[in-house]
């Protein structure tokens, strides 16, 4: 019997909770493989969700972390395109089968294990997502909505009260629903993820508080942050209006309603569907929306749903969007008699169904929160516990727990005095950071199933702290509560997920503690990650004084860090009150049946364009009522100037933005002629994504053994000695490429990646640049000479890097640090639809989960139409100036060293300088290793490029023989993606450069380097011989209150790897160990990187100041 | 228990014209719907029938009846105070006996040798219990009927012990509260428009009517009844046709015609109609 299967299936808790690492620590490679075989067989036959998923996570962990330790450094292989294609299309089972068949032929290797790890991991997540979906559908009260497929069998009717008006001069009555948001005081180690609640309901516990909010300094009193209005209209459409997003539409067909990505109203649409007004079962039925509305409301009628988030920014970690969804669903359910009351608070049974529908709405919209997020529907303070599934639950025998947890109101156990004390002590804030917490939630699931010792102990402590925190609330001891929430953040939360903290958060805590001393009581983290929504407890006696102080501290800290961390907005401080009602409805009729002034501000410009004769009687009645209110109602009177402003918008700000951009282009040496040439070529189709590719006639093969030097095998003493001497003599310098803005790292937010404090190393957060300098320090200390270290920058990153390095005195680096300012710049363009389609349809990519994929496709249609309507190939100017510009590819970084005088200065400082080691900012393991330098020197080549064996995640080209000659190729050049799967090696980008030969290729002498005009001319000559690629990049545009849109833009690039095919240049290729050559591209990689030994390796080659 | 009286409620201000509509009966003669309903009752052997009507409707109703073997009593509901109140108006007529209660806007076609009402009366008499006739109904029709939840009763086939009654529920509520094991997905036990009730119902209605603002429905009263005495639901072998539906009268007519002696003729006409009709 397999040892691991015993752990999975054991009824003994201590056996079941055995950490994987501990269980397999003494197993040999063959024993591990035997365990893998048994686990794979086991997971195929298991019905139990938990056992199946845990077996899959064990398989993932074995292949990702444990088997690779047993492979020799040279054991790597190739992956089959067919298997990979299956994986990308979410056919994980078949992909795994194919990989396992291939294994029988070629044996086990690192590459294959990496692919299996990926496939097992995603298959496990797929099972979990499917189960949540099945459970949402099977919740009693939700099932019928998936059966209804014809308007004639629509079982809901809008309540008569909403269809009745005494005469035509009166508008239809309105349901006004207001909902608080929820704050989670205990956090409980992300125990509100669905899987944890469904598998270990005993450990799924949170303390959830419904709160009203006011932005300090802006709003008068805390109000429920979300509200919505529902009313009948005399037009057979669904009118959707979002007052906070300032948009609206009349939905006229079911297709439009089920298309969530075409506008900003996806959440409102999802609410209508989840509330059963247009049930999900009717999607794709071919029915007309009009017939559905007729069944609901009678002939010729429709309804209007207005949503409003009262200017609370996204990312508040207060579950604003889930509670808005719940608010909209409540109103729609009230309107159709699905709740027991038309107004007032909801009954418990109704709240539960609203919560279940909110989960359904999130699934429909392709998003997902935790099960406590709809806590705003319930009043006041409550604990929420996972619940064991019983025979009457649809989850019975599928999972141990139910999908929906149980809420226990604590009203009777917490005094008003305690509530007051909590309100007087806690300061809620939005720190301003924007983060995607999705990867964190996946990590939590993974760690929970693997039961690593630390994380498991962390979870146990979090549960213990939960009880203590609840006790503090019951006894009214807020100071102790603050101490416990702080302990929660620094101990269990960070033990479970180290990435929950950020450099910014820790700076804030430190500064606030310094400022207020023992009057600062503690910190509380809200939601998935810190940096956005957070809370600080202070002594109530200083709260009023602390509000502005904390605001100022956040502002100044953000200012210091805004170039290195992704901020979406300026920090804000909230005032809050605990909401005693939960979601609450009002029935407004007669003179009261009016929407708020902000609604009229938004709709008036369109209404005045309409002929009064065309207005329906209800619209006319409403406008007359609005006019009367402008005369008599103070709330409307003060908004009158706003109504006029809306009618005559100003254009000043747009001109200002455009002016800044032109100035920036001029300052950064923008080449207008080149830009126009590229535009013409792009528009005429001479260049574009498909033209990036080699002609199909090119022969593309994997390299031969003799094409590479295997640097994974230790070099001889003489070679290493050559390298050591060169370091000692000061003949080598490091060039770290830091022109980038971490687009992938921050999903397009744009920060200076080099300055980003990405991970805690040597006891505190370190930035990429600090890490690279720490490696140079170690080299310097070891060999007696500190290498010169160049950081290359671009128009985006130069000033922040230079300023920061000045401020921190080059992180104390003992050698010289040069910042080489980029001299080349491009202006982004609106992509052609042809290129967009190519990028989306011709390039294989991971197909997403069903609803998320549907959402992605509908967003893409909207983007294609944006490109068409805005003008393909026209300049992209509709964003912050810095988001409109782009660096023109890393090829330019080396010539820039020549042109801007950096190399000249370095040679002045060290005339003996002969070699450069160029590396990417995220190739963390690259350092001046005497062995590799020795190999380069002894090879006599102009350039030595370091390559690594391929793992599953390494995509985008590699080392190939093109028409017989070895060279590096980018993935975008390969005529078909299948070609990439033939290539054994992946480009790490790290390059050893012989300076003399570099200058020769540019036809320059060292003495020419002080003549910028000459150098520029020579560079232009070489640049013209380098290929130009068109790429599509994603860029974020921020608007409103931390809202973000992502747009695809076209830009051109020249790439450094093409130097391997440059005529006259002689390039060598060194295969280096993975730890040295792998790149850290996305935040989601961090956790694996930390656990697979890569971080320890990095630490071993660094010397921290 | 012997059932000797029946009550038809026909006082609803919007529906009172329905029993007066003329249809062609199974034999091919034009008759009012009320006649067909009275015949349904007399088929059980009950002859003493009270009809609750709106004030002033008696002549119209009297005129439309041509049945000779029934003794009719017209009971006026003085003010339109809801369905519960209308039933309560028949208290005196019923005189403390169990009775058959029928709505006036339904017509029935039986699928067994016994008429639908006879099936119900036989069940109630055999079990000595209040029984409501029910039919499994698709959730799309829930907005039109009262519905019950419960479990299979050990008393006999097609019998359910009722534990919950909801008046025109939404499917959201129905799914949570009145799902009945053994029924097809999305189907619920909905009232069939006929009930055998003990006189206790009048006491319950009286209590409910004490609240002057209340307009109790029959479902409200039955909910209480279920707690006080044995109350069962019986699935009837037959079909009901709601005359109030948009094409209710037409459908009821077709059902009657296809159940009668001129079935062949009607079928021929129907097929011709189908062949000639063109979609617009």
- Per-residue pLDDT of A1030-1063, as tens digits, reads 988 888 887 776 677 888 999 998 999 999 999 9
Alpha-carbon gap: B116 to the closest alpha carbon of chain A (Å): 26
- For the stretch A997-1006, pLDDT in tens is 999 999 999 9
End-to-end CA distance of chain A: 52
Per-residue confidence at A1087, pLDDT binned at 50, 70, 90?
confident
Verify whether the Cβ–Cβ distance A141 to B172 is below 8 Å. yes
Per-residue confidence at A72, pLDDT binned at 50, 70, 90?
confident
User: Does A655 have pLDDT greater than 60?
Assistant: no
From chain B, the residues in CB contact with A148 under 8 A are 139-140
User: Does A658 have pLDDT greater than 60?
Assistant: no
pLDDT value of residue A1042:
63
Ranges A230-234, A535-539, A550-554, B138-142: which has the least confidence: B138-142
Verify whether the Cβ–Cβ distance A147 to B141 is below 8 Å. no
Q: Is the ipTM of this structure higher than 0.85?
A: no
Per-residue confidence at A627, pLDDT binned at 50, 70, 90?
confident
**How many beta carbons lie within 10 A of that of residue A582, not counting itself?**
27
Residue B106, domain extent: 5-276
pLDDT value of residue A79:
83
Question: Which residues touch B151 (CB under 8 Å, ≥6 apart)?
Answer: B160, B161, B163, B180, B181
From chain B, the residues in CB contact with A154 under 8 A are 140
pLDDT value of residue A56:
96
CA dist A157 → A457, A794, A944, B115, B139 (Å): 53, 61, 74, 34, 13
Is residue B26 within 8 A of residue B260, CB to CB? The reply is yes
Verify whether the Cβ–Cβ distance A147 to B139 is below 8 Å. yes
Which residue intervals of chain B are DSSP H helices? 33-42, 58-64, 83-88, 91-94, 116-127, 171-177, 200-209, 218-228, 248-258, 263-276
Quick check: B173 contacting A, CB < 8 Å?
A: yes
pLDDT value of residue A739:
86
Alpha-carbon gap: B28 to the closest alpha carbon of chain A (Å): 32
Quick check: A144 contacting B, CB < 8 Å?
A: yes
Verify whether the Cβ–Cβ distance B139 to A155 is below 8 Å. yes
Quick check: B172 contacting A, CB < 8 Å?
A: yes
Task: Pick B175's closest partner by Cβ from A141, A154, A336.
Answer: A141
Q: Rg for chain A (alpha carbons), in Å?
A: 31
d(CA A805, CA A807): 5
d(CA A168, CA A234): 11
Verify whether the Cβ–Cβ distance B175 to A156 is below 8 Å. no
- Mean per-residue pLDDT for A31-48? 93
B120 SS3 class: helix
- Mean per-residue pLDDT for B37-63? 95
Alpha-carbon gap: B77 to the closest alpha carbon of chain A (Å): 25
Q: Rg for chain B (alpha carbons), in Å?
A: 19
Question: Which residues touch A781 (CB under 8 Å, ≥6 apart)?
Answer: A1103
Task: Pick B176's closest partner by Cβ from A140, A145, A154.
Answer: A140
The dihedral sign for the CA sequence B7, B13, B15, B16: positive
Per-residue confidence at B194, pLDDT binned at 50, 70, 90?
very high
pLDDT value of residue A733:
98
Per-residue confidence at A780, pLDDT binned at 50, 70, 90?
very high
Q: How far is CA A637 from the centre of its chain?
A: 43
Is residue B36 within 8 A of residue B27, CB to CB? The reply is no
Share of chain B above pLDDT 90, in %: 79
Domains of chain A with bracketed CATH: 3-138 (no CATH), 146-584 (3.30.230.120), 594-647 (no CATH), 661-1095 (3.90.550.10)
Per-residue confidence at B57, pLDDT binned at 50, 70, 90?
very high
Alpha-carbon gap: A407 to the closest alpha carbon of chain B (Å): 18
Question: Which residues touch A282 (CB under 8 Å, ≥6 apart)?
Answer: A148, A149, A150, A151, A254, A292
From chain B, the residues in CB contact with A152 under 8 A are 140
d(CA B224, CA B231): 10
Q: For testing the chain B interface, which of A145, A152, A155 should be mutated: the one with the most B CBs within 10 Å?
A: A155
Q: For testing the chain B interface, which of A139, A144, A149, A273 should be mutated: the one with the most B CBs within 10 Å?
A: A144
pLDDT value of residue A150:
87
pLDDT value of residue A650:
58
Q: What is the CATH number of the domain that holds B215?
A: 3.90.550.10
User: Does A931 have pLDDT greater than 60?
Assistant: yes
Is residue B12 within 8 A of residue B242, CB to CB? The reply is no
Best CA proximity match to A1103, nearest among A803, A787, A882, A845: A787
pLDDT value of residue A885:
87
Share of chain A above pLDDT 70, in %: 98
Quick check: B248 contacting A, CB < 8 Å?
A: no
From A339, which residue of chain B is nearest by alpha-carbon distance? B173
Per-residue confidence at B152, pLDDT binned at 50, 70, 90?
confident
B127 SS3 class: helix
- Mean per-residue pLDDT for A140-159? 90
B9 SS3 class: strand
Verify whether the Cβ–Cβ distance B175 to A152 is below 8 Å. no
From B188, which residue of chain A is nearest by alpha-carbon distance? A144
- Counts for chain A of helices (H) and strands (E), in that order: 42, 32
pLDDT value of residue A367:
67
**How many beta carbons lie within 10 A of that of residue A520, not counting itself?**
21
Alpha-carbon gap: A346 to the closest alpha carbon of chain B (Å): 14
Is residue A558 within 8 A of residue A571, CB to CB? The reply is yes
From chain B, the residues in CB contact with A155 under 8 A are 139-143, 170-171
d(CA A284, CA A266): 17
From B141, which residue of chain A is nearest by alpha-carbon distance? A155
Ranges A672-681, A827-836, A1094-1103: which has the least confidence: A672-681
Task: Pick A155's closest partner by Cβ from B142, B179, B185.
Answer: B142
Q: Are strands A700-701 and A957-962 parallel, antiparallel or unpaired?
A: antiparallel
d(CA A1061, CA A957): 15
Eight-state DSSP code of residue A832: P
Which residue intervals of A517-616 are DSSP H helices? 543-561, 597-609
Mean pLDDT, chain A, rounded, equals: 90
Ranges A261-265, A998-1002, B52-56, B111-115: which has the least confidence: A261-265
Beta-strand runs (E) in A180-246: 181-184, 205-215, 226-233, 238-242
User: Does B260 have pLDDT greater than 70?
Assistant: yes
Verify whether the Cβ–Cβ distance A155 to B173 is below 8 Å. no
Verify whether the Cβ–Cβ distance B172 to A338 is below 8 Å. yes
Length of chain B in terms of residues written: 280
Eight-state DSSP code of residue A875: B
pLDDT value of residue A378:
97
- For the stretch A787-815, pLDDT in tens is 999 999 988 889 999 999 999 999 999 99
Verify whether the Cβ–Cβ distance A144 to B172 is below 8 Å. yes
Which residue intervals of A251-339 are DSSP H helices? 254-257, 266-274, 289-297, 320-335
Task: Pick B186's closest partner by Cβ from A140, A142, A147.
Answer: A147
pLDDT value of residue A659:
61
Q: Which two tokens stand for residue A247?
A: 């948009």
Structurally, chain B folds into a number of domains equal to 1
pLDDT value of residue A404:
87
The DSSP bridge partners found for residue A567 are A433
Q: For testing the chain A interface, which of B139, B167, B171 should be mutated: the one with the most A CBs within 10 Å?
A: B171
User: Does B96 have pLDDT greater than 60?
Assistant: yes
Beta-strand runs (E) in A836-952: 885-886, 915-920, 943-949
Quick check: B105 contacting A, CB < 8 Å?
A: no
User: Does A435 have pLDDT greater than 80?
Assistant: no
Verify whether the Cβ–Cβ distance B170 to A147 is below 8 Å. no
User: Does A891 have pLDDT greater than 70?
Assistant: yes
- Mean per-residue pLDDT for A990-999? 97
User: Does A641 have pLDDT greater than 90?
Assistant: no
End-to-end CA distance of chain B: 57
Per-residue confidence at A363, pLDDT binned at 50, 70, 90?
confident
Quick check: A142 contacting B, CB < 8 Å?
A: yes
Share of chain A above pLDDT 90, in %: 55
> How is chain B split among helix, strand and coil, in percent rounded to 5?
35, 30, 35
Best CA proximity match to A1042, nearest among A566, A653, A642: A566
User: Does A929 have pLDDT greater than 90?
Assistant: yes
- Mean per-residue pLDDT for A115-123? 94
CB pairs under 8 A between A and B: 52
The dihedral sign for the CA sequence A9, A12, A16, A19: negative
d(CA B153, CA B18): 35
Verify whether the Cβ–Cβ distance A141 to B186 is below 8 Å. no
Q: Are strands B146-152 and B187-197 parallel, antiparallel or unpaired?
A: antiparallel
Q: Which two tokens stand for residue A451?
A: 């039961």
Verify whether the Cβ–Cβ distance B176 to A153 is below 8 Å. no
Quick check: B143 contacting A, CB < 8 Å?
A: yes
């Amino acid at each position: 019997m397999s040892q691991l299967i015993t752990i999975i299936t054991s009824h003994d808790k201590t056996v079941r909770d055995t950490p994987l690492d501990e269980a397999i620590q003494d197993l040999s490679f063959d024993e591990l493989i035997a365990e893998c075989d048994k686990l794979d067989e086991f997971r195929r036959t298991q019905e139990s969700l938990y056992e199946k998923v845990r077996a899959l996570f064990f398989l993932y962990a074995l292949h990702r972390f444990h088997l690779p330790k047993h492979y020799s450094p040279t054991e790597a292989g190739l992956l089959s395109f067919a298997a990979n294609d299956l994986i990308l299309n979410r056919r994980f089972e078949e992909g795994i089968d194919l990989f396992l068949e291939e294994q029988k032929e070629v044996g086990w290797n690192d590459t294959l294990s990496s692919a299996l790890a990926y496939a097992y991991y995603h298959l496990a997540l797929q099972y979990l997502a499917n189960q949540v979906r099945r459970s949402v559908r099977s919740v009693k009260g939700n099932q019928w909505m998936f059966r209804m497929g014809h308007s004639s069998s629509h079982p809901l009717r809008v309540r008569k009260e909403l269809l009745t008006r005494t005469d035509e001069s009166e508008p239809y009555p309105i349901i006004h629903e207001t909902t608080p948001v929820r704050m989670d005081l205990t956090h409980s180690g992300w125990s509100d993820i669905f899987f944890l609640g469904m598998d270990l309901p005993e450990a799924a516990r949170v303390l959830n508080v419904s709160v009203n909010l006011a932005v300090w300094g802006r709003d008068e009193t805390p109000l429920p942050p979300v509200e919505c209005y529902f009313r009948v209209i005399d037009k057979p459409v669904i009118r959707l209006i979002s007052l906070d997003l300032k948009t609206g539409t009349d939905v006229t067909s079911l297709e439009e309603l089920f298309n969530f990505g075409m506008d900003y109203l996806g959440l409102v649409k999802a609410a209508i569907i989840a509330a059963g007004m247009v049930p999900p079962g009717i999607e794709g039925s071919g029915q007309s929306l009009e017939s559905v509305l007729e069944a609901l409301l009678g002939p010729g009628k429709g309804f209007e749903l207005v949503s409003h988030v009262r200017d609370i920014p996204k990312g508040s970690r207060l579950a604003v969007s889930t509670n808005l969804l719940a608010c909209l669903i409540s109103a729609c359910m009230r309107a159709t008699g699905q709740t027991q009351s038309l107004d007032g608070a909801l009954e418990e049974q109704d709240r539960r169904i609203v919560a279940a529908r909110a989960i359904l709405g999130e699934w429909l919209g392709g998003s997902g929160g935790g099960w406590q997020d709809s806590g705003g529907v319930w009043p006041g303070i409550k604990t929420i516990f996972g619940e064991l599934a019983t025979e009457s639950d649809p989850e019975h025998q599928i999972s141990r727990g139910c999908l929906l947890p149980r809420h226990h109101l604590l009203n009777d156990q917490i005094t008003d005095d305690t509530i007051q004390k909590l309100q007087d002590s806690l300061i809620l804030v939005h720190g301003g950071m924007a983060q995607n917490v999705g990867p964190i939630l996946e990590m939590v699931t993974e760690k929970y199933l693997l039961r690593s010792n630390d994380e498991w102990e962390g979870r146990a402590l979090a549960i213990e702290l939960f009880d203590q925190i609840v006790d503090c609330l019951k006894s009214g001891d807020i100071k102790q509560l603050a101490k416990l929430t702080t302990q929660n953040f620094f101990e269990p939360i960070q033990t479970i997920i180290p990435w929950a903290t950020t450099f910014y958060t820790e700076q804030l805590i430190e500064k606030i503690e310094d400022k207020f001393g023992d009057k600062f009581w503690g910190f509380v983290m809200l939601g998935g990650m810190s940096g956005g929504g957070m809370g600080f407890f202070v002594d109530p006696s200083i709260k009023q004084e602390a509000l502005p102080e904390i605001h100022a501290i956040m502002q100044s800290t953000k200012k210091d860090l805004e170039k290195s961390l992704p901020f979406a907005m300026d920090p804000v401080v909230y005032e809050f009150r605990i909401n005693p009602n939960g979601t609450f409805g009002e029935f407004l009729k007669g003179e009261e049946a009016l929407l708020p002034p902000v609604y009229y501000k938004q709709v008036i410009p369109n209404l005045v364009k309409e002929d009064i004769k065309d207005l329906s009687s209800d619209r006319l009645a409403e406008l007359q009522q609005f006019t009367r209110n402008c005369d008599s109602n103070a709330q409307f009177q003060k908004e009158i100037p706003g109504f006029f402003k809306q009618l005559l918008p100003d254009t000043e700000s747009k001109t200002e933005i455009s002016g800044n951009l032109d100035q920036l282009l001029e300052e950064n040496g923008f080449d207008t002629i080149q830009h126009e040439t590229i535009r013409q070529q792009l528009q005429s189709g001479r260049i574009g994504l498909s033209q990036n590719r080699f002609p199909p006639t090119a022969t593309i093969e994997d390299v031969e053994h003799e094409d590479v030097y295997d640097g994974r095998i230790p070099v001889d003493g003489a070679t290493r000695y050559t390298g050591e001497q060169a370091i000692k003599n000061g003949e080598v310098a490091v060039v770290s490429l830091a022109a980038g803005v971490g687009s992938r790292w921050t999903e397009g937010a744009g920060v200076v990646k080099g300055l980003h404090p990405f991970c805690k190393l040597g006891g505190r957060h370190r930035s990429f640049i600090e890490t690279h300098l720490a490696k140079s320090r170690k080299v310097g200390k070891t060999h007696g000479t500190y290498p010169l270290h160049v950081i290359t920058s671009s128009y985006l990153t130069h000033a922040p890097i230079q300023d920061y390095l000045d401020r921190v005195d080059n992180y104390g680096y003992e050698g010289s640090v040069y910042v080489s300012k980029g001299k080349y710049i491009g202006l982004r363009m609106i992509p052609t639809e042809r290129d967009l389609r190519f990028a989306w349809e011709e390039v294989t990519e991971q197909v997403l989960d069903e609803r998320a994929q549907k959402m992605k496709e509908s967003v893409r249609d909207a983007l294609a139409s944006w490109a068409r309507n805005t003008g393909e190939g026209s300049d992209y100017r509709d964003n912050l100036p810095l988001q409109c510009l782009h660096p023109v590819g890393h090829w330019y970084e080396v010539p820039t060293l020549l042109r801007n005088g950096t190399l000249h200065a370095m040679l002045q400082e060290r005339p003996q300088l002969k070699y450069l080691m160029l590396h990417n900012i995220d190739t963390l393991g690259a350092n001046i290793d005497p062995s590799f330098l020795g190999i380069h020197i002894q090879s006599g080549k102009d350039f030595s490029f370091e390559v690594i064996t391929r793992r599953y995640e390494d995509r985008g080209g590699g080392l190939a023989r093109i028409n017989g000659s070895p060279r590096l190729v980018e993935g975008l050049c390969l005529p078909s993606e299948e070609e990439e799967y033939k290539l054994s090696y992946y480009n790490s980008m790290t390059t050893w450069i012989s300076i003399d030969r570099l200058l020769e290729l540019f036809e320059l002498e060292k003495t020419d380097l002080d003549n910028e005009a000459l150098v520029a001319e020579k560079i232009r000559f070489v640049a013209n011989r380098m290929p130009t690629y068109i790429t599509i990049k994603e860029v974020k545009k921020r608007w409103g209150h931390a809202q973000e849109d992502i747009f695809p833009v076209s830009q051109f690039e020249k790439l450094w790897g093409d130097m391997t095919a440059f005529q006259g240049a002689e390039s060598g290729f060194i295969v280096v160990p993975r730890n040295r050559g792998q790149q850290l591209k996305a935040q989601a990689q961090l956790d694996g990187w930390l656990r697979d030994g890569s971080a320890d390796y990095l630490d071993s080659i660094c010397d921290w100041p | 228990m012997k059932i000797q009286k029946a009550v038809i409620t026909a006082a609803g201000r919007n529906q009172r014209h329905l029993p007066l509509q003329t249809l062609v009966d199974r034999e091919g003669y034009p008759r009012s719907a009320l006649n067909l309903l009275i015949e349904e009752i007399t088929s059980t052997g009950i002859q003493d029938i009270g009809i609750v009507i709106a004030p002033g409707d008696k002549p119209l109703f009297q005129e439309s009846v041509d049945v000779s073997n029934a003794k009719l009593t017209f009971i006026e509901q003085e003010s339109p105070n809801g369905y519960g109140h209308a039933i309560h108006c028949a208290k005196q007529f019923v005189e403390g006996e169990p009775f058959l209660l029928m709505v006036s806007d339904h017509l029935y076609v039986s699928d067994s040798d016994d008429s639908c009402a006879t099936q119900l009366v036989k069940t109630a008499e055999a079990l000595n219990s209040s029984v409501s006739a029910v039919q499994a109904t698709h959730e799309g029709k829930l907005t039109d009927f009262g519905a019950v939840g419960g479990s299979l009763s050990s008393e006999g086939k097609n019998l359910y012990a009722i534990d919950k009654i909801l008046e025109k529920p939404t499917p959201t509520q129905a799914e949570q509260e009145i799902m009945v094991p053994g029924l097809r997905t999305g189907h619920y036990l909905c009232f069939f428009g006929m009930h055998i009730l003990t006189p206790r119902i009048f006491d319950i209605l009286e209590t409910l009517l004490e609240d002057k603002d209340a307009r109790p429905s029959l479902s409200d009263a039955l909910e209480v009844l279920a707690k006080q005495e044995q109350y069962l639901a019986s699935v009837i072998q037959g079909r009901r046709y709601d005359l109030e539906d948009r094409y209710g009268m037409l459908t009821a007519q077709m059902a009657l015609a296809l159940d009668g002696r001129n079935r062949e003729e009607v079928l021929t006409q129907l097929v011709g109609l189908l062949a000639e009709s063109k979609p617009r």
